[in-house]
Chain A
C-alpha cells in the first residue's frame, strides 16, 4: 500500500469541493500539512510535502502554459440560455448569473489563442469554480470554435479538463455537446496537428467520455480523479467499497488510458516538447 493511494482515498471520501481557501495559512487536503499561502502560490498550489495538486482556477493554468506575449481570449461574450426553463432549487438563469458574478467568467471554459515557447496554439481551459466545470451549450460551442480555429490555422490544440460532466440544467442540449465536440475533433484529426488533452482533478462523466479521452496524447496531473461514473454512483450500484486509488490518474495510467502523469510545474515543458516532437514541419 503506497502512501498516495491512502491520500487519494481520503480525498474521495472527504471530497475537496472548494478550491484554494483564502487566508494566510492553508491546510493540505491530502496530508493535513499547514502551508503558508504565499509559499503555496509560488509552488503552483502543489503541496511541498505530499505533492498533492490543489485545484486551481483557469487563470493559473493559462499563466502556466502560455507565453506572456501574444495572447487573445475568444468568445467571452457567450452566455448560457435557458432552453428548458429549468428550475431546481433556483431557476437556471439565476444560478448562471450567480456563477458569472462570483467567477467573473461567462461560463466554465476559457479559450485563447497564444504561444507555448513561441509556438502558436489554441488553448481551452476549464474552470471548476463555474458550476463544477459542467458542460452545457456554451462550453460546447466555445470548444467547437477553438477546435475549428485549430483546424483552420492549422495549429495544435490543448485542452485542460476540470469538470464534473454534463450540465443537467440544459438536459439533452448538454448531452449533445459530447457529440458536437467529438464531431469537430473528427475534422481536426484529419489535420496533422497534435491535440493534447490535460486531465486535472476532477475529470468525470461526459467530459471524460468525449474530448478529454480523445487527445493524441492524454496527460494527467498526479492523483487527479478521472473516470466516467462518479465514485459515489459506482459505490451505490455495486454496494461495496471501492478499491484504494480507484479512478486516480495513477490507476488510469496503470490500466493504459493515459500516456503520462506530469506534475504541474513540469507541464509546460512537457507539452512544449511534445509539440516539438509531433509538429508536422520541423
Chain B
C-alpha cells in the first residue's frame, strides 16, 4: 500500500498496519478485538504527535519532498472547478514543469499557476522534476498578465527544487526570466496569493512567490539554497545536508517567526500525504479567505502594501 516510507514514519506505519490487520479480522467476524484496536489507535496517535512535535528541520525537508505528497495538480483537481489549463510562453515552448490555467476557486474565478512534480520516472522526465526553464516562468507571466487584463486574482502553488541549471536554460535567459517575474508580480494589478505546498527552492520558487499573501504548508520548506548545496559549499561535504538544513532555518515555523511569510497552513496528522483531501481543504479555505480580504482593496493600495511588505524584509544593525 505504501510505496515509500521515511525512517521516522516507519514505527507509526507499522502500528497503522497492525490496526488495519485487526480491523480486517474484526470485519471477518472475529470478536473481542475492539479494546486492542482502541489501545493501538491511542498509541499511534501518541507516537505520531511525539514524532511530529519534535521534527528536525531535516525531517521537515524529507516531508516536503515526500513522493506521496500532494502536488500542484492534486490541489487544483481537489480544490477548483472548471479548470482549463493554458499552455506555452508564446515564444519558444510549453514548459511542463509549470502548470498554469484558469479555474473557479470556491466563489472566485482565478488564474492558478504552480510547479508540477511528476510521479514516477516517466512523468518526472516530462515535468523535469518541477525544475522550470525560462519558458515556464514566461508562461506564468503571460497567464498573470492575462488574469490582470480580466481582473482575475492569481493563486500560485509553489513546489520546486529550483530553476533548472542547464545550458538551454542559461542560453534562453533563466536569470532574466526570473527577474522579470519578480518585477511584474510586485506591480500586478490583481491580488496574488502564493502557497508553498512542498519545496520552495530558491529563486526558482520566488519567481512565483512575490505576492500579497504568502503561506506555507506546515511541512513545506523555503530556502535560499538546497541543504545539499549549502553543505557542499559551506561545509565542503554534501552529506552534511541535515546539518545545513538546521543552519538554514528553512521551515514554515522559522519563516513565520521571522515574518517572512504571512501564515502557516495546517497539515493533517502525519503530513499532507496522509490525508490529501483535508490538506486541500485547508489550503482552499486559507486562500479563499485571503482573496476575500484582498479583492475589495483598490489595486493601487494593494500594490503599495505589497511593495511595502517586501521593503520591510531584512535585518541589520545601523550604527
Residues from chain A with Cβ under 8 Å of B169 in the complex: 228-229
Q: Which residue of A lies closest to B205 (CB)?
A: A175
Whether B230 contacts A168 by the Cβ 8 Å rule is: yes
Which residues from 173 to 197 on chain B have a C-beta closer than 8 Å to any C-beta of chain A?
173-176, 178-180, 182-183, 186-187
Whether A228 contacts B203 by the Cβ 8 Å rule is: yes
Whether B234 contacts A168 by the Cβ 8 Å rule is: yes
Most buried by A among B186, B229, B316, B319: B316
B222 on interface, CB distance cutoff 8 Å: yes
Given A183-B210, A214-B179, A234-B170, do A172 and B318 touch, yes or no (CB 8 Å)?
A: no
User: What is the minimal beta-carbon distance from B314 to any residue of chain A, in angstroms?
Assistant: 3
Could you tell me the distance between the alpha carbons of A230 and B222 in the complex, rounded to whole angstroms? 21
Given A172-B222, A185-B183, do A229 and B307 touch, yes or no (CB 8 Å)?
A: no
User: What is the minimal beta-carbon distance from A71 to any residue of chain B, in angstroms?
Assistant: 21
Which residues from 199 to 255 on chain A have a C-beta closer than 8 Å to any C-beta of chain B?
205-206, 208-214, 226-230, 233-234, 237-238, 242-243, 246-247, 251, 255
User: What is the minimal beta-carbon distance from B168 to any residue of chain A, in angstroms?
Assistant: 10
Residue of B167, B172, B225 near A243 (CB, 8 A) is: B167
A187 on interface, CB distance cutoff 8 Å: yes
Could you tell me the distance between the alpha carbons of A140 and B225 in the complex, rounded to whole angstroms? 18
Most buried by A among B170, B224, B254: B224
Could you tell me the distance between the alpha carbons of A84 and B165 in the complex, rounded to whole angstroms? 27
Could you tell me the distance between the alpha carbons of A257 and B171 in the complex, rounded to whole angstroms? 9
User: What is the minimal beta-carbon distance from B184 to any residue of chain A, in angstroms?
Assistant: 8
Residue of B172, B230, B255 near A172 (CB, 8 A) is: B255
Residues from chain A with Cβ under 8 Å of B306 in the complex: 183
Whether A166 contacts B170 by the Cβ 8 Å rule is: no
- The stretch of B60-68, B152-160, B244-252, B276-284 in contact with A is B244-252
B1 on interface, CB distance cutoff 8 Å: no
Could you tell me the distance between the alpha carbons of A75 and B167 in the complex, rounded to whole angstroms? 39
Could you tell me the distance between the alpha carbons of A35 and B254 in the complex, rounded to whole angstroms? 52
Whether B175 contacts A182 by the Cβ 8 Å rule is: no
Given A171-B223, A175-B202, A255-B171, do A79 and B260 touch, yes or no (CB 8 Å)?
A: no
Residue of B178, B223, B247, B319 near A228 (CB, 8 A) is: B178
Residues from chain B with Cβ under 8 Å of A137 in the complex: 313-316
B209 on interface, CB distance cutoff 8 Å: yes
Interface string of A245-282 (1 = CB under 8 A from B): 01100010001110000000000000000000000000
Whether B178 contacts A247 by the Cβ 8 Å rule is: no
User: What is the minimal beta-carbon distance from A278 to any residue of chain B, in angstroms?
Assistant: 18
Whether A186 contacts B314 by the Cβ 8 Å rule is: no
B113 on interface, CB distance cutoff 8 Å: no
B310 on interface, CB distance cutoff 8 Å: yes
Whether B248 contacts A84 by the Cβ 8 Å rule is: yes
Interface string of B199-243 (1 = CB under 8 A from A): 000110011011000000000001111000110011100000000
| 13 pairs, CB–CB < 8 Å, chain A vs chain B | A80-B317, A81-B316, A171-B224, A172-B260, A176-B314, A180-B313, A183-B210, A183-B306, A206-B203, A206-B224, A213-B173, A214-B179, A237-B165
List 11 additional contacts besides A84-B248, A89-B235, A209-B203; criterion CB under 8 Å: A80-B317, A168-B224, A173-B258, A173-B260, A173-B315, A175-B224, A178-B206, A209-B207, A214-B183, A229-B165, A237-B166
Interface residues of B (CB under 8 A from A): 163-167, 169-176, 178-180, 182-183, 186-187, 202-203, 206-207, 209-210, 222-225, 229-230, 233-235, 247-250, 254-255, 258, 260, 303, 306-307, 310-311, 313-319
